[in-house]
Structure 1
Amino acid sequence: MKKNITLFLMLFFTVLTFAQKTISGKITDDDGVAIPSASVTIEEPGKDAILAYGITNSKGEYKVTFTSGESNVDLKVKAFNQKPLTKQINNSDQTLNFKMQSEATEIKEVQLKTKMITARGDTISYDLKAFNSKNDRTLADVMRKIPGIEVNKDGTILYQGNAINKFYVNGKDLMEGGYGTINNSLPKDAVQKVEVLENHQPVKILQDKVPSDQAAINIKLKNSVTMTGRGEVGVGLEPFLWNVKLTPMFFGQKSQWVVNYKTNNMGEQVENEGNILAFGSSWEGRRSNISQNNWLSVENASVPDLPVKRYLMNSVHYLSANYLTNIDKKKEWELKANANYTNNAVERESNSITRDIQQGTQYTTRFLNNFYTDKLKGELIFTKNAKKGFFKNTTTFSQFWNADRAVAERNDKTGYRFGNEALESPTTSFQNSLSTIIPWKEKMVNFKSYISYQDDRQTLEISPANYLQFPYRDSLKGPLKTIDFAPGSTALQYFRIKSLDTSHSANISFTTKGWTFTPQVGFDLSTDNLTTNFDGSTVNNKPDFAGLAYENDLKFTRINPSASVGINYKSESWSLFSSFPVNFNNIKAEDAFRNVSKSLSKVTFTPNIFAQYSFASFFKASVNAGISNNFGDIQTAYAGYILTSPGGFNVMNPKNPIPETNTKNGGLRLEYRNPLNNLFFNVGYRLTDTKNNLLASSAVNELGFSVIEYIESENKRTNNSLYVEIGKYFPKFKTNASVTFNDTSSKSQSRRNDQDIDTKNNGNTLGFKFNNTYFSWMSIDFNMTKSWNKQSNGIIQNDLGKTESYTHNLNVFFYPLENHTIGFYWDQINSKLGDTKLNNGFFDVSYQFSWAKKKVDFELKWMNIADRKVFERINVGDATITQTTMQLRPSQVMFTVKFNFK
């Protein structure tokens, strides 16, 4: 790893400093009138490769920075109705002015030929027609083929390996980060081009003052007023299957809306489309995906590393509506209303054989689950985003009525045991986030306020209770014994937590000569009230569940005043974002039941910095570093036993101090994106070092049941990662290809059955993506990932800790006749541990007829042709090796009608 770091640093600083030169000047015509929008390119003599380029501004001025080892370079100037100009110049910093000769252009025939990728400033535009294939129907289908852009399985869009911060349609942010619905359902025929807005600052008043290192996506539609959308209706066998998708959309100049209803029982996951995938800027306030405090859980069947459609046994209904409208004549104020409702039932099954290497034992488990989700969310947002001011208020309400069920079976040295498990978990949640930026003379004043209240109640029931076999000790260092529950009795774990979180801050910003200074004061207050109780009957009353050891009545309070100064800089080449906060942490945990009171008062300094330098037109080099502190939360402060899962109790030692975690991180990154030759790459290195004062110590019996306790012991975790990604589009062959490589290593500490475990992990992953639409009769999409991992900790070592995996997804489409498509799909997932090799292959085939005039598709698809029933996988833990068999969807046939709303 040290060699990798050294090589990366050499590459990073060599490219940054080697032979970097700048040419600037002014371009005019014969009369001395400035020529705007003229292109200036730098090329190496005798080579058809552009090193750098620039565009003249309205005054005819240009500036081009480039890197070359040649002694001379060619400078070329082109402008409409002007004679092209070429001059060989020295490779040195200089100022060159040019006069161009007028040359009238006789246009015999007007032909418009749009470039597939164009760049202007920080905006890169992709012509969608250049990347689509005959089988593509939606925006997401095409975006997966664009160089420099990736679309993850959850719908997240990455540009140059990083998540975007905004997703616009015609410049408007209708979805507020939950863009999965539009990406998956917007017909490609409605889109003119996709724009990447690099270094995008979404708050207009902060543009050119506070830089950003993230990019945004803007979808430009063909028409300024567009009524469109996508629909599907499908039925299938066996058993009876259905799949309905109805997503009409409207995009106007004043208002936009999307209505989405999707339901299916054929394994398609649609309920997460409303998740927030882009979080914008922290200046906009606080936004997050609302989730439950899931402390308790039933035992869960394992999930295979496969596309969801292969294993998800579901019955889902998902309904969402998003609406945006301007409420003033200047179109500065926007009102957004978003709502969604989910009703989902999921069935899951897996069988496992677990070998405990530390104890030399083995046991088998079988879990059959039914998960029921009932969730409602509503959101109201008022926004003003203008050059002269900013205001945003977001109010969110969520309600969950979730329930989980499990049938668990175990076979170990004591014989066969069976248990029914049930969890009820209703949750009520409310948040309000306010942020406003007010201009004051040459300054800006920003106020932010955030309030969140959440009430979680959970009840976990296990029957019969003698399914449970937990370890315990009569004394601190006594031998492990097993709790014997009364046969036929029921075990109940009650849990409730009420959480209030508030955060308020004010700052004022001063801007001068590209520098912005932002002093800020803030005050955060949060309180959590936790009450729990465990009820169960044991043989001989050992241990006594009626005692205080199995109850909690804890109040956890955090008060955190803070003061900070932000220093930002923005120029043509440099971007700097830094913050230097001082936090006055005051934490108190009180449990009246056991007369426990813990407190912490500590001042911390947690600076962070990001700096980026753009050079040679196509390169960006950046460095970032930061320090953070976390002093735990109520999950690390309770002192009574909680049955978090039928697999084990969790407990905190009441004598432990408040948990403290200190994290230091730093990274380097080099980016190259050249739309002139369709080449994109990025390489980076990241180091993270984390120190804790508490260590997880687990007592695990021979049956696999455990009690996890956190003990006071300083421990450390480190993680190093080196990554490289390179992608290129070959227009002559209509091919997009990319290669990725990751090298990661980590070290961590834990304790199991009084044995200290120092775990080392080293992993390498190679990825390859390829798609081709060169042939009129065929198109190919191929994705491959190969991984190697080695783990060692004194228990898992030698070949036991070496694993390999291989995954590929191949989609081939044939077009034998006009409007006819035959599709072939192949998913392959292989894993290896020692001499054990598990190969899992899946095949689908489809036929589609397109009624071109009506833009309607009729598809017949046969999935899982081989009718593979189960998926096998090997997992390596700290001290265990588990081989798991997971239930899959059976072979099924679907007939679907697909259409556009228009």
Structure 2
Amino acid sequence: MKKISTLFILFISVLTWAQSSISGKILDTDGQPIPSASVTVEEPGKDAIIAYSITNSKGEFKVTFTSAEQNVDVKVKAFNQKPLQKVVKNENQTQNFTLQDDATEIKEVKLKAKMITKRGDTISYDIKAFESKSDRTLSDVLKKIPGIDVNKDGTVLYQGEPINKFYVNGKDLMEGGYGTINNSLPTGAVSKVEVMENHQPVKILQDKVPSESAAINIKLKKSVTMTGRGEVGAGLDPLLWNVKLTPMFFGQKNQWVVNYKANNNGESVEKEGNMLAFGNRWEGRRGQSAGNYWLSVDKASTPNIPEKRYLMNNVHFFSANVLTNPFKSKEWELKASTSYTNNAISRDSKRETVYEQDTGFFKAGKITNEESNNLYSNAAKGEIIFTKNAKKGFFKNTTTWNGFWNEDRGFSGTRYDMAVADPSLKNISLDEALSAPTGVFKNSLSTIIPWKEKLVNFMSYISYQTDRQNLSATNENFFDLDKQFGRDSESVHYGRLDQSIALKTFMANHSASVGFSHKKWTITPEVGLNLSFNDMNSQLYGDRNLLDDRFQNRMIWNEINPYTQVGLNYKGSAFNLNLTLPLNMYNMDYKDELRAKDSEISKTVFEPTFYGSYDFASFYKVSAFGGINYSYGNFGSVYDGSILTGPKSLNVRNSNLLPENRNINSSARLEYRNPLNNLFFNVRYSYNDMKKNIITKSTPFLSGASAVTLAYNDNSSYSQSESAEVGKYFPKFKTNASVNFSNRDSNSYSILVDENNVDNYIENKSNGQSLALKFNNTYFSWMSLDYNVSLNWNKNSDDYRNNVNRNSGWNHNMNLFFYPIENHTVGFVWDDVTTSQGATNLRNSFYDLSYQYTWAKKKIDFEIKWLNIANRKLYETISYNTTYFSTTRNSIEIRPSQVMFTVKFNFK
């Protein structure tokens, strides 16, 4: 609570900074308003703008600024008008200006568009200003724009936060799954990229309910555009192929995108179907569907490098998205989408762990583990969305069906080289298989109806999901879990284990609210009922014989959670406030039908959240968030029969131990975005405090296996982070540069049971810093450069062992392109990742070379690319465990050297 109080005081103190506002009208000599006139404020004697404003259609303006000077200069400019400058006092005031006509006959006109412009809450970027000759799609350019970043998964960030909408010509065709457009929309079709700050996507709420998120609108050159991107490629060592076909159409009433992508060259195109933006709660409930996986095979490690370096795949992905206006009214939209994925992935990794001493968990010596996988997946999705988004009402119904069919195969091998070991200790091997089909049906409805001066909102969400999972493991010499299956002192060894589990989940969430608006305030009382009904059946077989009821479950977990809350919103021109005051009633019932046990939780708690933001001095924005929430477990938190969740992990969660967790989270952010000098920066702070009444209790074994239970033990953990990012575009040098620094601190608690069956209470603490630099330059007509480098430093400590470890690493990526002759491009890519532990440095370097010829008349690219020139076969990392006094060296198989020839083209 002290942290939240401190943040709140800081937030309020910022709001009370000494500021001045000048408002008024700009008129011509006939007394007519002048729209789009610029009003700037400067300190006397300084050629630097401290604040600005643009007049609206009525000629009105308001500019807010902070300055220590007694007087400031106000400058007014407008097309065909004589500029005006006036010295005014630094205080709140109203000033009206009349401009004299100044029409000039111009014989020759050269128009030079500004790279970045701002009007209201919308910042527009001219895409040509940031594009290099090697860029072909929107994603190539987007990551170069100041203030915008793109995560590895394709999520677009603005000022470090995910966007909430991705529009094309003002329409949201993809409903959050915008990866397809981002990766396949040709740059030649795009005019501008618009960032809409504080974007409220529900039009009827735009002047009533504030939003802290930004949206992106891709403005095309033509209102009706037929475009798209395609690639066809083949390669050697081994035989490689790559196909990408993505035609697109964007019209005023209809939009569609059809997408087929398939390859075996290491590109996970199926992720383009993932939802990356979720709108806001008033649009209903949406999320990324997935299987409820309780079981898994042992997985080989994956490295922290671009997927094209290590992904051994064979994937086919198809998707289609359609948007149309089914009625004469453009307010109604119908969207339909479908997708299908067939994917096969293989992985191999090896890790060698050296234990320096006898720790009570492991003997001194070395253990080598090898994991190998073949992962097969099929996924299908269908979705229909019906929407009306108007100033006089809102309606949205989303119906979604998902199916997943996964077949995972795994091999795990363990070899021992121990100084002190049991003579009977033998090498271990396990063959593993998991079958996991899943079906999901969801429907979300939200409507907002104006009633006199009020807004009535009804929301309904239902979801039904079934999961069936069957895990099989056959082993040679695997002994570590033997005593977990024995009765009393008897030991039983099973050569094969089969775990089956069946899950069913039904959820229903319903709510109703009424919004009362008065001037800039909106008060929204709401009532709701959340229901969740779940059941689980599981059986464990040893050598195909059903084990006793200690290894079986027939359980039901039901939740009935009514709630009532009041939302308080203030939507001003500069200050926005959202305060939610909910009273939540948690009622949970756990029934074990096999053991005739019944446990209940009934709690009523107050869980407020607060968000506020304030824009000041034209370019600054400060915001703060705080909240408290409680959780009392969910489906899977408890079960009394042991479950083999993995071939080496036997878990049981005693239902006598019902979780009660309290979480406090808070954050604050200061942003600066100035399109006049192309400068953007943000400073962020977040703090999370979690109190729990249960702790995980693990018994580790030599093979890497473990038996996991729960224990009552009050414990508190926290995490906090601080970060700052500065980005600036230098138009004179055609350079965009940004620097990011972050610091993270956290702790966690656990209980480890040693070889003497003694519980060891362990607190692990971690601290990490990272420094990242992003730089791209297109100054020279014959060269362009993209360069990214990040450095990290980490410190981990274990208070039980009083052991501290420090390690570091760095990651660097360079894309260098030369244009020696028109339509010819030579590219060089250098990826370098290094991890350091003590005196050991493991460096992983990768080099690619490419040549591309562009048939300009047909807009076709012919590219030949040589990947991993050095033919590196393994990616290596090193780490240290402070609890076990162990050093682990991890080796991961990556893609060998390969050559690809690709033809790339636009559909129009």
SS in 2 for 1:129: helix
Distance in 1, matches of 2:618 and 2:677, equals 13
Distance in 2, matches of 1:474 and 1:339, equals 47
Query: 1:316 maps to which residue?
Result: 315
Query: 2:825 maps to which residue?
Result: 821
Contact 1:261 1:319 in 2 (8 A): yes
Is 1:887 aligned to residue 893 of structure 2?
A: yes
Deviation of the 1:89 alpha carbon = 2.5
Deviation of the 1:465 alpha carbon = 6.5
**Aligned 1:460-479 pairs, distance under 5 A:** 460-464=471-475, 466-467=477-478, 469-470=480-481, 472=483
Distance in 2, matches of 1:70 and 1:624, equals 33
Query: 2:517 maps to which residue?
Result: 511
Deviation of the 1:483 alpha carbon = 5.8
Distance in 2, matches of 1:819 and 1:62, equals 48
How far does the alpha carbon of each residue in 1:652-702 deviate from its partner, in whole angstroms, 9 at most, with x for none? 12321x212211111111110001110000101111101111100101123
SS in 2 for 1:786: strand
Which residue, 867, 881, 892 being the options, matches 1:863? Answer: 867
Code of the aligned partner of 1:552 = N
SS in 2 for 1:141: helix
Which residue, 855, 873, 878 being the options, matches 2:877? Answer: 873
Deviation of the 1:571 alpha carbon = 0.8
Contact 1:661 1:691 in 2 (8 A): yes
How far does the alpha carbon of each residue in 1:793-840 deviate from its partner, in whole angstroms, 9 at most, with x for none? 1356555x2110100110000111101000000000000111221111
Is 1:451 aligned to residue 462 of structure 2?
A: yes
Change in 2 beyond 3 A, CA 1:329/1:803: same
Query: 1:541 maps to which residue?
Result: none
Distance in 1, matches of 2:10 and 2:536, equals 53
Change in 2 beyond 3 A, CA 1:528/1:11: closer
Query: 2:797 maps to which residue?
Result: 792
Distance in 2, matches of 1:345 and 1:238, equals 19
Change in 2 beyond 3 A, CA 1:471/1:68: farther
Deviation of the 1:411 alpha carbon = 1.0
SS in 1 for 2:139: helix
Distance in 1, matches of 2:519 and 2:592, equals 55
What are the ranges of 5 or more consecutive residues in structure 2 without an aligned counterpart? 754-758
SS in 2 for 1:113: coil
Code of the aligned partner of 1:756 = Y
Deviation of the 1:475 alpha carbon = 12
Query: 2:345 maps to which residue?
Result: 346
Distance in 1, matches of 2:655 and 2:203, equals 50
Code of the aligned partner of 1:47 = K
Change in 2 beyond 3 A, CA 1:252/1:797: farther
How far does the alpha carbon of each residue in 1:359-399 deviate from its partner, in whole angstroms, 9 at most, with x for none? 34342111110000111111111111111111111111111
Q: CA RMSD in A?
A: 2.1
Contact 2:428 2:476 in 1 (8 A): no
Contact 2:232 2:242 in 1 (8 A): yes
Contact 2:427 2:477 in 1 (8 A): no
Change in 2 beyond 3 A, CA 1:461/1:564: same
Code of the aligned partner of 2:101 = S
Deviation of the 1:633 alpha carbon = 1.1
Code of the aligned partner of 2:280 = S
Change in 2 beyond 3 A, CA 1:827/1:468: farther
Query: 2:44 maps to which residue?
Result: 45
Distance in 2, matches of 1:222 and 1:366, equals 54
Query: 2:149 maps to which residue?
Result: 150
Which residue, 774, 780, 786 being the options, matches 2:785? Answer: 780
Code of the aligned partner of 1:625 = G
Distance in 2, matches of 1:527 and 1:83, equals 71
Query: 1:272 maps to which residue?
Result: 271
Which residue, 507, 515, 529 being the options, matches 1:501? Answer: 507
Code of the aligned partner of 2:705 = F
Distance in 2, matches of 1:537 and 1:876, equals 38
Code of the aligned partner of 1:873 = T
Distance in 2, matches of 1:639 and 1:713, equals 19
Distance in 2, matches of 1:517 and 1:350, equals 57
Deviation of the 1:92 alpha carbon = 2.4
Distance in 2, matches of 1:778 and 1:723, equals 33
Distance in 1, matches of 2:842 and 2:506, equals 48
Deviation of the 1:878 alpha carbon = 6.4
Query: 1:162 maps to which residue?
Result: 161
SS in 2 for 1:271: helix
How far does the alpha carbon of each residue in 1:745-781 deviate from its partner, in whole angstroms, 9 at most, with x for none? 1122111111111111111111110000000111000
How far does the alpha carbon of each residue in 1:137-180 deviate from its partner, in whole angstroms, 9 at most, with x for none? 00010111100001111110000000000000111110000000
Deviation of the 1:38 alpha carbon = 1.5
Deviation of the 1:468 alpha carbon = 5.1
Is 1:572 aligned to residue 573 of structure 2?
A: yes
Quick one: percent identity of the two aligned structures? 56
SS in 2 for 1:272: helix
Query: 1:647 maps to which residue?
Result: 648
Q: Which moved more, 1:774-783 or 1:745-754?
A: 745-754
SS in 2 for 1:115: coil
Contact 2:74 2:88 in 1 (8 A): yes
Contact 1:469 1:484 in 2 (8 A): no
Code of the aligned partner of 2:53 = G
Change in 2 beyond 3 A, CA 1:89/1:393: same
Deviation of the 1:29 alpha carbon = 2.4
SS in 1 for 2:182: helix
Distance in 2, matches of 1:399 and 1:351, equals 33
Query: 1:617 maps to which residue?
Result: 618
Which residue, 401, 405, 410 being the options, matches 1:406? Answer: 410
Deviation of the 1:545 alpha carbon = 6.8
Code of the aligned partner of 1:665 = N
Give the structure-2-normalised TM-score. 0.95
Distance in 2, matches of 1:363 and 1:845, equals 39
SS in 1 for 2:106: coil
Query: 1:260 maps to which residue?
Result: 259
Give the structure-1-normalised TM-score. 0.96
Q: Which moved more, 1:25-34 or 1:881-890?
A: 25-34
SS in 2 for 1:273: helix
Distance in 1, matches of 2:789 and 2:492, equals 50
SS in 2 for 1:639: strand
Distance in 2, matches of 1:623 and 1:647, equals 45
Contact 1:688 1:720 in 2 (8 A): yes
Deviation of the 1:30 alpha carbon = 2.7
Query: 2:684 maps to which residue?
Result: 684
Is 1:436 aligned to residue 447 of structure 2?
A: yes
Contact 2:8 2:624 in 1 (8 A): no
**Aligned 1:288-437 pairs, distance under 5 A:** 288-355=287-354, 358=359, 359-361=361-363, 362-412=366-416, 413=421, 414-437=425-448
SS in 2 for 1:405: strand
Is 1:896 aligned to residue 895 of structure 2?
A: no
Query: 2:756 maps to which residue?
Result: none
Contact 2:175 2:277 in 1 (8 A): yes
What are the ranges of 5 or more consecutive residues in structure 1 without an aligned counterpart? 539-543
Query: 1:852 maps to which residue?
Result: 856
Change in 2 beyond 3 A, CA 1:530/1:10: closer
**Aligned 1:514-593 pairs, distance under 5 A:** 514-537=520-543, 546-593=547-594
Query: 1:246 maps to which residue?
Result: 245
Q: Which moved more, 1:337-346 or 1:870-879?
A: 870-879
Query: 1:805 maps to which residue?
Result: 809
Deviation of the 1:446 alpha carbon = 0.7
Deviation of the 1:88 alpha carbon = 2.4
Query: 2:496 maps to which residue?
Result: 490
Code of the aligned partner of 1:259 = V
Change in 2 beyond 3 A, CA 1:94/1:863: same
SS in 1 for 2:140: helix
Code of the aligned partner of 2:650 = F
Query: 1:100 maps to which residue?
Result: 99
Contact 1:505 1:522 in 2 (8 A): yes
Change in 2 beyond 3 A, CA 1:75/1:93: same
